[in-house]
Amino acid sequence: MRRIKTHCGMRIAECGLMQKRIRDPRSEIRNASGFTYVALLAAIVIIGISMGAAGKYWSFVMQRDKEEELLFRGEQYRLAIERYYRALPGRNAYPPSIEELLKDSRTPAGKRHLRQAYKDPITGEDFEIIRDQTKGNRITGVLSTSDKEPLKKTGFPDQYPDFENKTAYKD
């Protein structure tokens, strides 16, 4: 039997053994797929946590904006009721309805004390109307019906000292 030598001077059988000892770069790529899978899962977890934090922050921003809008709309109602009350000197009276704030039937031109009937920005529904029984069941104010806890608890204007440290918007 003749011995066939390879280019390195070894027999073919020995050369095959050497090839097994040399690392095959393709086998490393196949083993790296497990690492890629783990890295992908880690990236998905990090993105999920980031999205959760962003969602909480966005929710906070939205509630703060709704709260500012609630204070603005409440102030509009307060000013409209005050304008209605003072519109006719000597005939001071609170409005009987929200529609009367939109168009005052006591005046010939139908003066508008309120631009529109605002909805409660927290609940998306109409405000609850505060009526004073001693003044002929007339409207003296509006309030939110929401049970949510307000973000702002202090720092209100001087005309709203009762807003301090409330636990719900409806308080």
- Spell out the domain ranges in the chain: 61-163
Residue ranges with strand state E in the chain? 128-132, 138-143
Query: How much is the average pLDDT of 7-31?
Result: 55
Structure-model confidence comparison of residues 165 and 24, the more confident one: 165
CA-based nearest residue to 136, from 96, 86, 78: 96
Residue-level pLDDT at 80:
93
pLDDT value at 18 more than 60: no
The span from the CA of 2 to the CA of 134, in Å, is 124
Query: How much is the average pLDDT of 22-26?
Result: 57
Residue-level pLDDT at 20:
52
Work out the percent of the chain whose per-residue pLDDT is above 70: 81
Residue-level pLDDT at 118:
92
pLDDT value at 17 more than 60: no
Residue-level pLDDT at 12:
54
Query: How much is the average pLDDT of 41-54?
Result: 93
The answer to whether the beta carbons of residues 98 and 129 sit under 8 Å apart is yes
Q: Read off the pTM.
A: 0.67
On average, the pLDDT of the chain sits at: 82
Residue-level pLDDT at 142:
92
pLDDT band at 65 (very low <50, low <70, confident <90, very high): very high
The answer to whether the beta carbons of residues 135 and 94 sit under 8 Å apart is yes
Residue-level pLDDT at 35:
80
pLDDT value at 166 more than 90: no
